[in-house]
Structure 1
Amino acid sequence: MRLSLRQRVVRAVTLATALALPLAFAPPASAQSGPVADIFAKLLEKTVTGANVKKHLDALQSIADANGGNRAAGSPGYDASVDYVAGKLRKAGYRVKTTDVQFPKSWEELSPPVLEQVAPTPTKYATPADFVTVISSGSGDVTAEVQAVDPTLPPTPSPSSTAGCEASDWAGFVPGRIALIQRGTCPYVQKADNAKAAGAAAVIFFNEGQPGRTDAYAFDIGEWRYGFPVVFSSFSVGSALANSPGTRVRVRTDTKVEVATTRNVIAETRGGDRDNVVMVGAHLDSMPEGPGINDNGSGTAAVLEVALRLKHLPVRNKVRFGFWAAEELGLLGSEQYVAELSPAERDRIRLYLNFDMVASPNYAYKLYDGDNSDNVGFPAGPAGSAQIEQRLAKYFDRRGLGHVGTDFDGRSDYGPFIANGIPAGGIFTGAEGTKTEAEAKLFGGQAGAPYDSCYHVACDTITNINKRALDVNSDAIAVATATYAFDLSSIPRRAATAAATTGTAVPLRGTSVS
């Protein structure tokens, strides 16, 4: 009698487990790590199917349909999504917990802001023509000397200003002054985080001065906990202040924020070395505008299915799955999770794999550029990130599928991990960006059109996914997860780990990005 695929897989798992189980719990340096990892990677790849992943997407769509059409953080739809994912994982035998995540439920400006030069030449600036309050800014009334932080004056067409992004930018900053920071390169929230750490009393961002980047405009920085005013000015105002050292400025904002709580879902294998944690994550929340089936039901469903199938296999390294809350509000779930870990706990996380939008309808297979091989845009990830990119590339190469790089640009939940020196990698199939001619030749689809025309809008439903991309990427996630569950020999140990072993403290600070 011919065996079904399921029967063949079950037999293969049984045989491989019998042969490899003693090795799975051998010391990590075992020479058998590679072969064992390859065996289980292929087994997990076979058991993870696009059809089963889509069942989770159907469930998330049904949850949204029953709860106002979305699964946004703080909504009944999100709470039901948490219950669905946590319930599946508990039934599979994982250790499951939820962690609280604070987020701003509402923010309002109670009265008009003030920005004025006090000395040497008293000057009042107008809102919104000259400046605006940054959404999520705290309240405060600060009069102090303004200090420009590494501005690019006059502006250069390319690259963008890196003002405030690097630790060296803040070497001479005087605590108590107002930080004047030019737009460019890294997220606003990273610049403001650095300003707070340097002792700034307030922050004035200003535009770059390039064509189309001169005026003040409103945006949400996604961080409400600074406790000081944050405003954004035009290039003309900012550059004038930057060119006048010693100027005293008054900044006043009058705002109110209501804070609410939502939850991450964290699940980990019962077995595996607790000092070597492989973390795999996807954000669980949608935008309020729709059910978020591609963004990021696709990543959630794929990671969930991999977890449910991984339960049948022994693991050498502990595998931890994170389903993040409030990513759409500024990576709040992952940022708060990482920030609340002790340095030793962060050190145990050997790598982080991130899967955010893996089934875009006009997809491209984009792998996070761990080594910055294109030498443009954002820099490489922490040591080990290049190896993760190579592991994923090996899978696509084996299947004869093309792939391209994508920057660690701070737009997804890898951000807090790489900010703390944890190597990261993952797959992304594109959002609102436009597919190039070269990508259309490589992957098919329509050049000159968005990867996902329903990005962050109501039509991101169950009809807004590419089933082939979902199936291929789910298999790639399975292979990467199983590989690292058994073999971390390609991932270098971080300096923090070595220092912790010898009792030397290595400070780490969580950083939010948006």
Structure 2
Amino acid sequence: MSRDGAGFRRRIATVARRRVSLRKLAIPVIATLLVAGAAQPAAAGHGHHSESSKRLREAVTVSGVRDHLKAFQKIADRNDDTRASGTPGFEASAAYVKKKLQRAGYKVTEQKFVFPFFDELAPAQLTRVSPAGPAYETHTFDFSGSGDVTGQVVPALNNVLPPTPEPSSTAGCAAADFAPASATAPQIALVQRGGCDFAVKAANAKTAGYDAVIIFNEGQPGRDTLLTGTLGGPFDLPVVGLSFADGSALATAAAAGAVTLRVVTSTFTDPNATTSNIIADSRGGDPNRVLVVGAHLDSVTAGPGINDNGSGSATILEIAEQVSRLKIKTSQRLRFAFWGAEEAGLLGSEHYVANLSAAEQSKIYANLNFDMVGSPNYVRFVYDGDGSDTGTAGPDGSGEIEAVFTDYFAAQGLASDPTAFDGRSDYGPFIAVGIPAGGLFSGAEGVKTEEQAAEYGGTAGEPYDPCYHEACDDISNLNNRSLSELGDAAAHAVYTVGRLKGDLAGAAAPAGGAGGASSGGSHGHPAS
């Protein structure tokens, strides 16, 4: 999952989520999907297909997906345990995918682009010098500068303590939110999350003369743990995160008397690194109606990224191979896209969408996105395209895509949970320009609820993926049931949406096809 581009986040509102049962009202045009049902005759004038997705679903196997995942693991093993964009591990992953797709008969192109590469060379340190105290648990913000600063902590003037029940803080979002820093001694700004991008807070602190910045979480449930995030681009001061408990306690202490901390960060940034997207077009289907099936290929620098997002990449690669092997015909041209630099802020998909001409953009029928589908403590999350559960809908047609997934799971006797269209994965740039989208997600660092554990199994109170963005996200960090259930649903959606007739929002669905939301986590390092 991505570190979340700051530019895109300003275009997509973050919404509250609540879990609901699988039995949502189906959108009428998709409600005809019946996975196990017998093929039905075509309805006159509606272009229904009688063929089921079952043949494709049976061909797409966990064994096939895991073969690709094993290849990604071997690539990481040979390349410093990472497949991050800008590293040899990514280049080897891209070459592997490209070769497989070419062998399957797809027309494959490699779209190269320049992006800012960031790596944390050593963990951040945040220690209390005076009054003496233990070290804090902290984290370097992506694109933080390197530095070693010892100085007095100065809280922003408008931190909201205690926090309000709902997020309300705008601390640090204006230059006037920081008192002018000392001109003679180093000082460290302490500012609360909320109201604007982290980069804005850091820049305002720098303008006020501070030498380092600490950003602590806001304090509401779900916004109280150790804060990690991205600045979206290179920054020249150390910027680190704190939990709400540590940050608020530090703010209280600093208000009562002088508190001196030491902040140490060690980072590397290359603003002109190169990476690529791998794009593979099917030979058939209408070239004026293109279904983009995407997954990001890159990992974070900290690990091999076998679940995030080797699992999504391996799944759509297996689907692409089986579509070709079975000679499945689709109404839409299928375009399988393996995005680079998602973990740097959705940069690959943003580059792709931004470089489409108006005519090319008009030919994109829809986008299906698969980012993490093998989480160990998984939930079957479906993006809430119609906004009925989270309050924010995608472009017209997104609700129909959501129903393809929810109706499929319901027909299988499987629950699903909605998750918000909050722009935290590669569907973001598509919905930002009005292209309908949807997809699946098995959960990241979010914590499984008691209700979800009762429904899906697994362990309540534990993350969906305990190795999210960590070195332990390796071949052992997978759940085969999740790969199977979400992989089948992904294959079904590619088949079903690929064969729809007419515009998506009013399309006729193939007959015989499909036989209180929780976020699942932040989908990457947030920008605000």
Q: Fold match, TM over 0.5?
A: yes
TM alignment of 1:131-170, pairs within 5 A? 136=143, 157-161=164-168
Q: 2:299 aligns with which of 286, 290, 293?
A: 286
Answer whether contact 2:193 2:218 (CA < 8 A) is retained. Answer: no
Distance 1:182 1:51 in 2: 46
- CA contact 2:229–2:526 (8 Å) conserved in 1: no
Which residue does the alignment assign to 2:463?
A: 450
Q: Please tell me whether residue 258 in structure 1 is matched to residue 271 in structure 2.
A: yes
The 8 Å contact of residues 60 and 81 in structure 1, kept in 2 or not, is answered as yes
The structural deviation recorded for 1:262 is: 0.6
CA contact (8 A) 2:75 2:93 kept: yes
Q: Displacement of 1:489 after TM fit?
A: 4.0
Q: Is the 8 A contact 2:110 2:277 kept in 1?
A: yes
Asked whether the equivalents of residues 101 and 325 of structure 1 are also in contact (C-alpha less than 8 Å), the reply is no
Q: Does 1:105 align with 2:117?
A: yes
Which residue pairs with 1:31 in the alignment?
Answer: 45
1:476 aligns with 2:489: yes
* 1:111-130 deviation per Cα after TM superposition (whole angstroms, max 9, x unaligned): xxxxxxxxxxxxxxxxxxxx
- Cα offset for 1:42? 2.4
Partner of 2:419: 406
Q: Distance in 2 between matches of 1:472 and 1:231?
A: 40
Q: Which digits, 9 at most, give the CA deviation of each residue in 1:173-227, with x for residues without a partner? A: xxxxxxxx995478658x89xx9xxxxxxxx99989767989xx98532235xx9
Tell me the residue number matched to 2:397: 384
- Secondary structure of 1:329's partner? coil
CA–CA separation in structure 2 for the residues paired with 1:482 and 1:421 = 22
Letter in 2 for 1:347: S
Amino acid at match of 1:160: P
The separation in 2 between residues aligned to 1:325 and 1:290, in whole angstroms, is 16
Residues 28-427 of structure 1: matches in 2 within 5 Å? 31=45, 33=47, 35-36=48-49, 39-106=51-118, 136=143, 157-161=164-168, 184=194, 219-223=229-233, 258-311=271-324, 312-375=327-390, 379-427=392-440
Q: Which 5+ residue runs of structure 2 have no aligned equivalent?
A: 1-38, 121-139, 146-157, 171-190, 204-212, 242-246, 249-267, 508-524
Distance (whole Å) between structure 2 residues aligned to residue 490 and residue 278 of structure 1: 12
Cα contact 1:352–1:423 (8 A) shared by 2: yes
Contact 1:416 / 1:513 at 8 angstroms: preserved in 2? no
CA contact (8 A) 1:136 1:257 kept: no
Report the Cα distance in structure 2 between the residues aligned to 1:59 and 1:206, rounded to whole angstroms: 39
One-letter amino acid of the structure 1 residue matched with residue 422 of structure 2: D
Q: Which has the higher helix share?
A: 1
Report the Cα offset of residue 102 of structure 1. 1.8
* Partner residue in 1 for 2:448: 435
Q: Is the 8 A contact 2:167 2:220 kept in 1?
A: no
User: What is the Cα deviation at residue 410 of structure 1?
Assistant: 2.3
Percent identity reads 46
Aligned-pair CA distance for 1:43: 2.2
Q: Distance in 2 between matches of 1:446 and 1:208?
A: 25
Secondary structure at 2:53's aligned position in 1? helix
Q: Is the 8 A contact 2:305 2:474 kept in 1?
A: yes
Distance, in Å, in 1 between the alignment partners of 2:393 and 2:389 is: 10
Cα offset, 1:342, TM superposition: 1.6
Runs of 4+ in 1 over 4 A off after TM superposition: 133-138, 151-156, 185-189, 204-214, 227-235
Shift of 1:375: 3.8
Distance 1:454 1:231 in 2: 23
Pairwise CA distance, 1:279? 0.8
Query: Aligned equivalents of 1:91 and 1:85: distance in 2?
Result: 10
Does the residue aligned with 1:426 lie in a helix, a strand or coil?
Answer: strand
Greater relative contact order: 1 or 2 (C-alpha under 8 angstroms, separation 6 or more)? Answer: 2
CA distance in 1, matches of 2:288, 2:169: 36
Amino acid at match of 2:56: L
Secondary structure of the residue that 1:327 maps to in structure 2?
A: coil
Contact 1:367 1:426 in 2 (8 A): yes
The CA distance in 2 between the partners of 1:468 and 1:346, in whole Å, is 36
CA distance in structure 1 between the aligned counterparts of 2:240 and 2:464, rounded to whole angstroms: 31
The SS at the match of 1:96 is: strand
* 2:479 paired with 1:466: yes
Corresponding pairs, count = 398
How far apart, in 2, do the equivalents of 1:346 and 1:205 lie?
Answer: 41
Residue 141 of structure 1 is matched in structure 2 by: none
CA shift, 1:374, in A, is: 2.2
Return the alpha-carbon distance in structure 2 between the equivalents of residues 469 and 73 of structure 1.
26
Over 3 Å counting, the alpha-carbon distance change for 1:462 and 1:106 in structure 2 is: closer
Equivalents in 2 of 1:393, 1:207: separation in Å?
37
**Whole-Å separation in 1 of the counterparts to 2:336 and 2:195:** 30
8 A Cα contact 1:415 1:513, kept in partner? no
Report the 3-state secondary structure (helix = DSSP H, G, I; strand = E; otherwise coil) of the residue aligned with 1:449. coil
Quick one: which amino acid aligns to residue 325 of structure 1? G
Q: What is the deviation of 1:369? A: 1.0
Q: State the distance in 2 between where 1:155 and 1:292 align.
A: 37
Contact in 2 for aligned 1:161/1:182 (Cα 8 Å): no
Residues 373 and 483, structure 2, Cα contact 8 Å, conserved in 1 = yes
SS at match of 2:111: strand
- Cα distance in 2 for partners of 1:48, 1:156 equals 48
Q: Which residue of 2 aligns with 1:168?
A: none
Distance 1:210 1:289, change over 3 A: closer
Structure 1's 445 and 229: CA in aligned 2 closer, same or farther, altered over 3 A?
A: closer
The answer on whether the counterparts of 2:308 and 2:371 sit within 8 Å (CA) in structure 1 is yes
Match of 1:239 in 2: none
One-letter identity of the residue aligned with 1:400: G
Q: 1:39 to 1:414 in 2, by over 3 A?
A: same
What is the one-letter code of the residue matched to 2:282? T
The answer to whether the 8 Å contact 1:73/1:285 transfers is yes
Q: RMSD value over aligned CA atoms?
A: 4.4
Structure 1 Cα separation of the partners of residues 162 and 45 of structure 2: 55
- Secondary structure at the counterpart of residue 367 of structure 2: strand
Report deviation, 1:162: 9.8
Contact 1:223 1:330 in 2 (8 A): no
Note if 1:491 corresponds to 2:492.
no
8 Å Cα contact 1:101/1:332 also seen in 2: no
